Structure 1
């Protein structure tokens, strides 16, 4: 792939004797949103961490925006906005200080207005100068989405962005995903919430035991029929 998108081929990740990812293939085109669905331990978060440059692949290839995460790690990381499934925030820092740090690390200029708009969009404008130590889990999730989206990355990786988030926050996160798609970013959303995944993503990839069992149109996973199809893929 010469530019844009996400391409994963034969990805394997081992932690000692445990193979967390056992040969995953994925492709997300620019302007597309793909959901990773599966139970805990299916390999969703590990796959996301490889693409974000947090965990090295044991075998296979992973490319983001045309860069191999192993051969060109710094270039790949610059292309990615990553919302991890847990952690990533400094308890004694405010949301605005988090944005300042992110902007400094990425050498962004003129980011302040976008930062304010994202905080307002994710209903965090009123707590922009409050330390995150007292934030609820849902508030922390929303701030992680803001930080991932701040620099308008070519690849947006959101790992469990809806976990503990109320319906208003979910809609706001949908808006961030749609905005990213509209400007041509490839979006990968990892979640165990099937009903939300099919609302915001065009395709769904189901992982089980570290392998991909299927990639299907989101409509295939909708409603009661979709729930039955999902359960069958996890069986």
Structure 2
């Protein structure tokens, strides 16, 4: 028997007025695996992730997440997903601890405080847990966004540009989050333009260019100088 994909995208199109941000993308990802969406800025990675998170509706195509149709069951999809957006998502006047309190309340989590403290320490945010996020650097905000996405241990973890502007502590913490999520059987998607971190975090890579999928390969095929050349050829 074949396992049903945790993410199953067929012929996805997303249009904003006259602009077609995603043009016929197919994507399949499974529980216990991590898949990278790799490509330059403007390739359609973030728009695809927003559709999977239930933030942006598809203009055409079929999109199923955790066995659910994102058109018909968008609220149920959001309950099963943890989403780190590429920008924004934080409340400037709230502290990291208040963000975690709100997330725990909305998701009706019990006994969450210990996990919250552990995650704050993992991401190097323990000392600023009670500082408002308006004073955070870009990298600190990225770390907190990843933390919040993973906090409730979702079935599908969507990390959009989690490494952007992040220091080595944040990179290592994010890699640990991805590894832990895979170990407990979650499906992980990581969108990034950083090839080396994509292949370190993930076992498979889907390359997007101009809103279309141009390749889906094992991460090892993108490694080293030969992988770099292959990647550049896909972007040309």
Q: Give the gaps of 5 or more residues in structure 1.
A: none
> C-alpha displacement at 1:67, in angstroms?
0.7
Partner of 1:20, secondary structure, is strand
Partner of 2:153, secondary structure, is coil
The 5 A counterparts of 1:189-204 are 189-204=190-205
1:104 counterpart residue number: 105
Number of residue equivalences: 235
Q: TM-score, normalized by length of structure 2?
A: 0.97
Structure 1 position 53 matched with structure 2 position 54: yes
1:87 counterpart residue number: 88
> C-alpha displacement at 1:5, in angstroms?
1.3
Instruction: Output the CA distance in 2 between the equivalents of 1:140 and 1:34.
Output: 23
1:174 counterpart residue number: 175
Deviation readout 1:125-166 (Å, 9 max, x if unpaired): 111111111111110000001100011000000000000001
CA contact (8 A) 2:10 2:63 kept: yes
1:76 counterpart residue number: 77
The 5 A counterparts of 1:134-213 are 134-213=135-214
> C-alpha displacement at 1:4, in angstroms?
6.0
Instruction: Output the CA distance in 1 between the equivalents of 2:127 and 2:76.
Output: 35
CA contact (8 A) 1:4 1:185 kept: no
CA contact (8 A) 1:2 1:66 kept: no
CA contact (8 A) 2:84 2:145 kept: yes
> C-alpha displacement at 1:3, in angstroms?
5.7
> C-alpha displacement at 1:119, in angstroms?
0.8
Deviation readout 1:147-191 (Å, 9 max, x if unpaired): 000110000000000000011210110000000000000000000
1:67 counterpart residue number: 68
Q: TM-score, normalized by length of structure 1?
A: 0.98
Runs of 4+ in 1 over 3 A off after TM superposition: 1-4
Deviates more, 1:78-87 or 1:113-122: 113-122
